[in-house]
Structure 1
Amino acid sequence: MRNLRRPALPGRTVRLRFTALYGVLFLLSGIGLLALTNLVALGSSRVTVPGENPQQPTLAASQELVGRLQAQLSETHTAQSRQLLIGSAVALAVMAVVSVVLGRVVAGRVLRPLRTITSATRRISADNLHERLAVPGPADEVKDLADTIDGLLERLEGSFSAQRRFVANASHELRTPLATIRASLDVAVAKPEPVPAQTIALADRIRTELDQVDRLLEGFLLLARTQHGALSDRATISLGRVVSAALDSRAADIAARSLTVHGDDVQDGAWTRGSRTLLSRMVGNVIDNAITHNHDGGWIRVAATADGATARLIVETGGRVLDQEQIARLAQPFQRLGADRTGSDSGSGLGLSIVAAVATAHGGDLDLRARPGGGLRVAITLPLADARAGVPA
């Protein structure tokens, strides 16, 4: 990996530029202050000598003239001091305003590269880590900061690429041993000679555990692919239709637990854009969670609506009153409320974490709330899309 950091040249640092700019500003402010003060102070500095008789003045007249001149000089000095004070105050106020305006303009020009770096960094996410800041300019602290961030982005891009390769390879490498074990069990049980009952019971138990491991592995790989992969099969999808399909495919499970589904508020106008596979899995996980963590004879309320620029999916279930602090942790992997919630300890703890990851990957959000009357409220918000932008799903 190339080293993007370059030592800043001592003569072209941001600190030196700030020092020079503010030094020039203060110098110009001082010059302007002195100029205004002198212009105001010199406005009335003329002393008027009263006219005298052209005849030879006497000694008494001369002394009287000297006294009048001294009094007039004292008054003139006092007036000039007052005028100087007023002029200084006016000049100080004017230059203070000018200095603030100039300082703001200069600071904006100096900090413009930092604003460029900030806005460019905010635009870069996991989907476009290949982009770089590439800030032009002298080799100073700002350039060194931009190059350091570019180096960090390059390292992050390498890490994300390694994670994507791991997800792609793990799907094959980890499923192969499971398939081999399952095939070996089938061969052992299918032998012509009588198989002991204990062996058949053990094989059934191992198959059950293998199915659980397979579901756990599938959920883990889907979670990793959602968090660190790219959405390749984007399309414009009707959230209401995905919900209806999920409910139809789980009709047998719903009937087995005698659950009542209220889905009158499932609208066909709630469209969003994203991966059809991931969004279907997201909706399926929410419905599965509502079926599994429910009591026999309970109810499920489903709503898919469009509100402004948002498509919203809300799934509510009844039950006992839950702790909101524990509910907030359900979006994290391998977090469950336990068997005391429904009398069942089934599930891998990845269902709602996959829902949260899929919603985040599509620019949405997952909100989990404990209902005051008991049960859970799951709300998913996604960006609303125009139904005419793609092929309906």
Structure 2
Amino acid sequence: MVRLRSGTVGLRFTLLYGVVFLMSGVGLLVLAYLFSGGKVTNVAPVPGQHPPADGSLTEARQRIHDLQAQLAEVNAQHSRQMLVGSLLALVVLAAVSLLAGRALARRVLRPLRLITAATRHISADNLDQRLAVSGPTDEVKDLADTIDGLLERLETSFAAQRGFAANASHELRTPLATIRASLDVAVAKPDAPGQTVALADRLRTQVDRMDRLLDGLLVLARAQHGTLGDSAHVDVAELVAQALADRTTEISAKRLSVTGDLPRGVGTTRGDAALLSRLVENVVDNAVAHNEAGGWVRVATSREGVAVRLVVQTGGGVLDQRDVDRLAQPFQRLGADRTGSEHGAGLGLSIVAAIAAAHGGRLDLRARPHGGLRVSIALPFVALPVKATA
């Protein structure tokens, strides 16, 4: 049976072709039925023959009448057979018309399906791909070439945007270093006024904050470009343990209860060790900085099939999932404006998402039903190479 999806071009083409074939078949059947009919005529006497006697004439007329009745019955039966045969042929023709129409529609729309499938696999991470449809110059090839031109313009625009962030961050590093050096010189003078020292301390705090912001933009641009350094095997559990150990002071200051399930050697992946370390550090920093005093943090790493999963959960108030979904975008935070937050510029989780995507993984953010946030990161599992034995 032909399966059709409503509201598609394929369905409209199928119905159009089917109706055309069906009407053509109906016309042929009607003509065949009309030309197959006949009329019963009286039998005329043969010239040159003498009419029979009176008794014979009555008998002959009776025989003629009987033959005419039999011929009429044969014609009626033939007409009924033709009608039934035509109806059966019409049903078969309707089914064949739909099948033929569906086959022709699929044939006509096949290039469009190929273009659709290829376009679906192109995203912001692989804008360098092209459809490159070959064949005669027709409407379908014009459409494919137009899409290729659009992809080329998008690739150029994305590259310019990412390159601008990286270049601007690099260029701003020099004036920041100059400002920091000038502040240090001003404070180091023996006769520096107290107001100057206090102002220098406040400015140095803002300069450090801007430096962290630029560093985050550089890492984000590098991850979005897919510019990875030397690839190496990395144990995610070891990165998490190191990140927690480096933040012992902050964890103690907030009296956080940290529990971890970090089996070593189970969750190994391969990639840029520096970027993967930054990924883990940002997730841990987010869990510590945006936690309530006396709260808790749960960290676990595991292997799930061909993926390594890192899950970090924190307690707190109930969050709106719509707000949580925005956290993977740059400069987005919960419960704070775009500027003026003492906990950062809102780049942490966007950097995590970009680094995970650059390594073939993904970031998943979920608001916990009873309050708090669940951050889950999946990375491709790559087993450690087996060491050769002597």
User: TM-score, normalising length from structure 1?
Assistant: 0.79
Would the aligned equivalents of 1:29 and 1:99 in 2 still touch at CA under 8 Å? no
Tell me the amino acid that sits aligned with residue 225 of structure 1: R
Would the aligned equivalents of 1:317 and 1:375 in 2 still touch at CA under 8 Å? yes
Would the aligned equivalents of 2:279 and 2:352 in 1 still touch at CA under 8 Å? yes
Shift of 1:234: 4.2
Runs of 5+ unmatched residues, structure 2 = 1-12, 44-50
Would the aligned equivalents of 2:310 and 2:377 in 1 still touch at CA under 8 Å? yes
Equivalent in 86, 93, 112 of residue 88 of structure 1: 86
Shift of 1:178: 0.5
Distance verdict in 2 for CA 1:134–1:389, change over 3 Å = farther
Would the aligned equivalents of 2:326 and 2:332 in 1 still touch at CA under 8 Å? yes
3-state SS, counterpart of residue 58 of structure 1: helix
Moved more, 259-268 or 107-116: 259-268
Shift of 1:118: 2.0
Would the aligned equivalents of 2:302 and 2:310 in 1 still touch at CA under 8 Å? yes
1:250 is aligned to: 247
2:21 is aligned to: 26
Distance verdict in 2 for CA 1:147–1:139, change over 3 Å = same
Distance 2:30 2:383 in 1: 66
2:220 is aligned to: 223
Moved more, 168-177 or 123-132: 123-132
Distance verdict in 2 for CA 1:156–1:324, change over 3 Å = closer
Q: Does 1:188 align with 2:180?
A: no
Runs of 5+ unmatched residues, structure 1 = 1-17, 50-54
Equivalent in 368, 377, 380 of residue 380 of structure 1: 377
Distance verdict in 2 for CA 1:266–1:292, change over 3 Å = farther
2:201 is aligned to: 204
Equivalent in 53, 60, 66 of residue 62 of structure 1: 60
1:217-243 CA distance string (max 9 Å, x none): 222332233334444544443222221
Would the aligned equivalents of 2:169 and 2:217 in 1 still touch at CA under 8 Å? no
Would the aligned equivalents of 1:266 and 1:302 in 2 still touch at CA under 8 Å? no
Moved more, 28-37 or 289-298: 28-37
1:109-163 CA distance string (max 9 Å, x none): 2222112222322333344433322212222210110110111122122223323
Would the aligned equivalents of 2:237 and 2:263 in 1 still touch at CA under 8 Å? yes
3-state SS, counterpart of residue 366 of structure 1: strand
Identify the structure with bigger relative contact order (alpha carbons < 8 Å, sequence gap 6+): 1
Shift of 1:28: 11
2:5 is aligned to: none
Distance 1:278 1:32 in 2: 73
Output aligned runs, 1:130-169, within 5 Å. 130-169=128-167
Shift of 1:215: 1.0
Distance 1:28 1:389 in 2: 71
Moved more, 75-84 or 380-389: 380-389
1:275-328 CA distance string (max 9 Å, x none): 322222121111011111223443211001112233211111223444444333
Distance 1:319 1:165 in 2: 38
Distance verdict in 2 for CA 1:209–1:215, change over 3 Å = same
Would the aligned equivalents of 2:222 and 2:228 in 1 still touch at CA under 8 Å? no
1:47-84 CA distance string (max 9 Å, x none): xx9xxxxx968111121112112211221121111111
Would the aligned equivalents of 2:22 and 2:93 in 1 still touch at CA under 8 Å? no
Q: Does 1:333 align with 2:330?
A: yes
Shift of 1:181: 0.6
3-state SS, counterpart of residue 310 of structure 2: strand
Distance 1:244 1:374 in 2: 25
- Number of aligned pairs? 358
1:215-273 CA distance string (max 9 Å, x none): 12222332233334444544443222221222222233323433332113445312334
Would the aligned equivalents of 1:164 and 1:229 in 2 still touch at CA under 8 Å? no
Tell me the amino acid that sits aligned with residue 208 of structure 1: T
Distance 1:385 1:314 in 2: 18
Distance 2:332 2:129 in 1: 36
Distance 1:333 1:145 in 2: 34
1:284 is aligned to: 281
1:275 is aligned to: 272
Distance 2:257 2:353 in 1: 26
Distance 2:283 2:220 in 1: 15
Distance verdict in 2 for CA 1:61–1:358, change over 3 Å = same
Shift of 1:351: 1.4
2:365 is aligned to: 368
Moved more, 304-313 or 98-107: 98-107
Tell me the amino acid that sits aligned with residue 109 of structure 1: R
Distance 1:204 1:143 in 2: 64
1:52 is aligned to: none
Would the aligned equivalents of 2:311 and 2:374 in 1 still touch at CA under 8 Å? yes
1:340-360 CA distance string (max 9 Å, x none): xxxx84222221222233333
Would the aligned equivalents of 1:253 and 1:291 in 2 still touch at CA under 8 Å? yes
User: TM-score, normalising length from structure 2?
Assistant: 0.79
Distance 1:373 1:27 in 2: 63
Equivalent in 287, 294, 299 of residue 291 of structure 2: 294
RMSD, aligned CA: 3.6
